[in-house]
Amino acid sequence: MSKSQIEDINRNIYDIKNEDNYDFKMKKGLTREIIEELSKQKNEPEWMKEFRLKALDVYESLELPTWGPDISELDMNDIATYVRPKSKLNSSWDDVPEDIKKTFDQLGIPDAEKESLAGVGAQYDSEVVYHSMKEELIQQGVIYTDMETAVREYPDVVKEHFMKCVPVYDHKFVALHGAVWSGGSFVYVPKGVKVDIPLQSYFRLNSPESGQFEHTLIIVDEGASLHFIEGCSAPKYNKVNLHAGCVELYVKDNAYLRYSTIENWSKNMFNLNTKKAIVGKNAKMEWVTGSFGSKISMLYPMSILNGENAKTEFTGISFAGKGQNLDNGFKVVHNAKNTSSLVNAKSISKDGGKCTYRSLVRITPNAGGSKSSVSCESLMLDDISISDTIPVNDIETDDVIFSHEAKIGKISDKTIFYLMSRGLSEEDAKAMIVRGFAYPISKELPVEYAVEMNNLINLELEGAIG
Amino acid sequence: MILNNTPVRTSKNFNINNIKIDEIALPTLVPFSNVKISGETDTMTVEKTKKFELHFTYGVGNVIEDCNQCLRVQVSGKESSPIKIEFDFDQENAALAENIEVIANENAEATVMILYRSDKEKTYFHQGALHVIAKKNAKIHVIVVNLLNVSSQHLMSMENEIDENASVDYTIVDFGAKTCISNWYSNILGEKAASSVNTIYLGSDEQFFDINYIAHLRGEKTNVNMEVQGALADKAKKHFKGTIDFKKGSKKAVGNENESCLLLSDEARSIALPMLLCSEEDVEGNHASSSGKIDTKSLFYIMSRGFSEKDAIKLVVKARFECVLQTIEDWQLREEILSRIDEELL
């Protein structure tokens, strides 16, 4: 069989750069003065400024991770932590400045909003430039707004939940986030309200040598349900960009939340993001993740199953190409009786890319009657790539059913032969196998996003293998 | 003291990259005389030598620099009966640090059994270092049985270099010691070289096991198989770290790892880190890990046949261990191991 040669993903839509045309750009670096200036620029309440300064102290006291990808290239002295675009927050796309609107048009956001979303938020660099939600949801009491507005208008709710699920001392880049966060979304779904159509926030980083630190806080109250979609991209620059966002999810008793992400950052991006959910009694949290972009990614969404019968599922795929080191995975803590978790993780490595699946399953002594099943599969498309699986399974009680399995392999020659015997060319056979490998993840996404994901995987596959 | 590092680190918060031991009281080494060697032949010899050093790629880590037993086993023919090295700990022989080198020359075949036993009277200290070299076409089966008492310390480093078409297969029984730290590394170099490790461990009381197995597959069509079965009662705790690393050049290599832990108490704790690392395309790697208590239906079925609950549990544990015990041909040793299960799970 001839070698597989799969080209890089066609990124032409995502790589379109706008001029670095900002209203305010913070000087590079990370100091107390910069944090104070950031807080002043954002016209924040005093408690938030104090919070930021404390987070900075924590950041300075914590060491860099001693494991995972090498992130020594990242120098905070080369990163501008706050870039305010030349746009205020708008609720109509017509009011968004033309160059920014054009970017989101090309990414298909306004079209998606019309066709399949109940609400959209769009962040450009450090600030949200557009936010809108269907009237019927507003009438049902659903709140979907940018975080800055939430800090001003719902201070008690924000104070109660902000960085309580993900405390600043979790790790160094969470502390960094606490110090410099800007933008992001706040969602509150009242008790019993079912939001049938997804909400989506899209994060676009245009400015070079800068960071994006958006904060997403979602509270799905008792018996409510929501599907939230997060998309992100950036054009590629020669120097490092940083994304250190934070997602805090509260899924109250009997509630349901699905959080879907298509991550397609440019390949100069360090994606050091943190996502965590606290899941209540009889509630369910589902994560669906496609990770394609970034130079380095360290991302391990986490579910803490605190209520009896709480459930979580993680379905994720990573696709690492040339120059990429995607260290992704999932963490779950079973902390109540009869909780369950189901993990299905896949990765594809090609052209010298490295994929690592890193995970934790912890079943505490409180979690009798719990079940956990983990499956991860890795596909190697050539002999210059790397694929690692590093799972930790920590079981602290006997009354559990726990299983973990992992596989690493290449595309089976027998399968290719079988498909070719049915009339497919070798290229088509290989492309079909890769699509089939990713299918369990793509089928979990809404159709438009599954198409986007399949495009990301397949656009250049067809005709490029051989 | 930080020991038994994994080849690749993961998050410090997971507490599994290595272990910190503060409690081990290091003994002063005096000559250890309770060593019994049997089964030597013309083509399989054991030489008590002057001190020699063994340099390990991994290993538990040097707790004691010195050693009080140095043995070199040479195998040059095909032997059907095993060579047996038995270390018995007692009041006069309370601390052992031994270096053992096994050299299997081309086409040699043999079984080497190494046994550690003790009375229950005292706390004993053992640090073992075992280095096995299997030259072209050699086939070596190594059986390491730790039946020390549950208040002792057992630190065991094992490293293997395996040439073309050769194999080194281990059977490890880790039942003894309050702190049992074990490190096994196979460097599978030659084409079609193979290695396996079949382990059973049994923990009761407050025993702690830190087991760290690493295999580097380097040659084409190499193979490794790790099968680890354990049972933990009372407040026993175990770390299992298993790494299969497909290095560049290991085309058509196969690596399988299966770790299963039976939890016999709600205070027992099992942590596992089964790693697959892969830098080669045309390989097949699989790992599986599972934990849980004995299925109540099975237990009920056995008890309905007249067994007490304790006896039913013992029966299930013995059945779990059977696949590994089968690799030990010496029936007396098998019986000794089985009777230890009865003692531990009283």
pLDDT in tens, A19-53: 777 888 899 999 999 999 999 999 999 999 999 99
The answer to whether position A375 is within a domain reads no
How many domains does one find in chain A? 2
| Contacts with B291 from chain A: Cβ below 8 Å | 393, 395, 400, 402
d(CA B282, CA A247): 38
Let me know whether A80 and A223 are in one domain. yes
Note the pLDDT of residue A3: 43
Binned at pLDDT 50, 70 and 90, residue A264 comes out as confident
- The string of pLDDT tens digits covering residues A189-201 is 999 999 999 999 9
Distances (CA, A) of B193 to B111, B136, B255: 17, 9, 12
Last residue of a domain, one of A299, A319, A334: A299
Work out whether strand A22-25 and strand A83-85 pair parallel, antiparallel, or are unpaired: antiparallel
Q: Is residue A10 part of a domain?
A: no
Question: What gap in Å lies between CA B29 and CA B125, rounded to an integer?
Answer: 10
If asked whether residues A417 and A277 sit together in one domain, one would say: no
For chain B, what is the mean pLDDT?
A: 95
Domain-located, residue A12: no
Detail the DSSP E strand segments found in B136-236: 139-147, 153-162, 167-174, 179-188, 194-203, 208-217, 223-232
For residue A398, which residues of chain B lie inside 8 Å, CB to CB? 263-266, 268, 292-293
Name every residue whose Cβ is closer than 8 Å to that of residue B181 and which is 6 or more positions away in sequence: B3, B4, B19, B21, B60, B154, B155, B156, B209, B210
Quick one: pLDDT at residue B154? 97
A365 CB neighbours in chain B (<8 A) are 266-267
Mark whether A44 and A172 lie in a shared domain: yes
Nearest residue of chain A to residue B279 (CA atoms): A386
Q: Which residues of A touch B (CB under 8 A)?
A: 65-68, 358, 360, 365, 368, 378, 380-383, 385-410
Best A390, A405, A410, A416 member to test B by mutation, with max B CBs in 10 Å, is A390
Contact B14 A360 (CB under 8 A): yes
Please report, as a single letter, which amino acid is at residue A134. K
Looking at the partner chain, which of A65, A398, A409 has a beta carbon nearest the beta carbon of B264? A398
Residue-wise pLDDT for A160-216, tens only, equals 999 999 999 999 999 999 999 999 999 999 999 999 999 999 888 888 889 999 999
Token representation of residue A32: 């107390």
A342-395 tens-digit pLDDT: 999 999 998 899 999 999 999 999 999 999 999 999 998 888 999 999 999 999
DSSP state of A95: G
Q: Establish, for the pair of chains A and B, how many residue pairs have beta carbons separated by less than 8 Å.
A: 134
Please report whether residue A17 resides in a domain: no
Query: Which whole number is the average pLDDT over A235-242?
Result: 84
Contact B290, A404 (CB under 8 A): yes
Angle at B256 between CA B168 and CA A357, to 5 degrees: 130
Q: Give B314's contacts (C-beta < 8 A, 6+ positions apart).
A: B341, B342, B345
| DSSP for residue A194 | B
The gap from C-alpha B190 to its chain's centroid, in whole angstroms, comes to: 23
User: Residue ranges of the alpha helices (H) in chain B?
Assistant: 296-303, 309-325, 331-344
Residues A394, B285: C-beta atoms closer than 8 Å: no
> Could A383 and B263 be called an inter-chain contact, meaning their C-beta atoms sit closer than 8 Å?
no
- Give CA–CA dist A315/A93, Å, rounded: 33
Q: Which residue does chain A place closest to B284, by CA atoms?
A: A409
Alpha carbon A414 to its chain's center: 36
Q: Is residue A314 part of a domain?
A: no
Q: Which of A256, A273, A299 is the last residue in one of the domains? A: A299
β-pair partners for A406: A376, B287
Tell me the pLDDT of chain A averaged across its residues.
89
What DSSP string describes A215-265? EEEEEE-TT-EEEEEEEEE----SS-EEE--EEEEEE-TT-EEEEEEEEE-
Q: Token pair for residue B124?
A: 């004993």
Of B11, B286, B291, the CB nearest to A395: B291
How far apart are alpha carbons B180 and B155 in whole angstroms? Answer: 6
Q: How far apart are CA A67 and CA B262, in angstroms?
A: 30
Nearest to B180, CA basis, from B112, B241, B233, B126: B126
> What would the pLDDT profile of B12-53 be if each residue is shown by its tens digit?
889 899 998 877 778 889 999 999 999 999 999 999 988 888
* Tokens read off for B164: 């073309």
Task: Report if residue A291 sits inside a domain.
Answer: yes
- Label residue A2 by pLDDT band (50, 70, 90): very low
Instruction: Report which of A289, A360, A283 is spatially closest to residue A319, judged by C-alpha positions.
Output: A289
pLDDT at A465: 34
User: Nearest Cα to A289, choosing from A279, A299, A303, A277?
Assistant: A299
The domain boundary residue, chosen from A252, A269, A299: A299
CB contact under 8 A, B289 and A405: yes
CB spacing of A380 vs B273 below 8 angstroms: no
In a domain, A187, yes or no: yes
Can you tell me the ipTM of this complex?
A: 0.91
Among chain B, residues having any CB pair with chain A shorter than 8 Å are 8-12, 14, 16-17, 246, 248, 251, 261, 263-293
* Partner-chain residue, chosen from A393, A398, A409, that has the shortest CB–CB distance to B284: A409
b/e B136-167 (16+ beta carbons within 10 angstroms → b): bbbbbbbbbbbbbbbbbbbbbbbbbbbbbbbb
**How many angstroms separate the CA atoms of A276 and A249, rounded?**
6
Distance, CA of B346 to CA of B343 (rounded, Å):
6
Least Cα separation, residue A78 to chain B (angstroms): 27
Q: What is residue A114's predicted lDDT score, i.e. its pLDDT?
A: 80
Under 8 Å between Cβ of A220 and A189: yes
Backbone angles phi, psi at A178, to 5 degrees: -60, -35
Bridge-partner residues for A144, per DSSP? A187
How many Å lie between the alpha carbon of A346 and the closest alpha carbon of chain B?
14
Q: Residue A394 is which amino acid? A: D
> What does the DSSP 8-state code read for residue A207?
S
Place of tokens 């031994």: B98
**Residue A249, burial from CB neighbour count under 10 angstroms (0-12, 13-18, 19+):** buried
In which domain, by residue range, is A443 found? 412-466
**Inter-chain CB proximity B275 and A390 less than 8 Å:** yes
Which residue in B9, B11, B237, B265 has the most chain A C-beta atoms within 10 A of its own C-beta, making it the best mutation to test that interface? B11
Residues in chain A within 8 Å Cβ distance of B269? 394-396
Question: Dihedral sign, CA of A174, A178, A184, A188?
Answer: positive
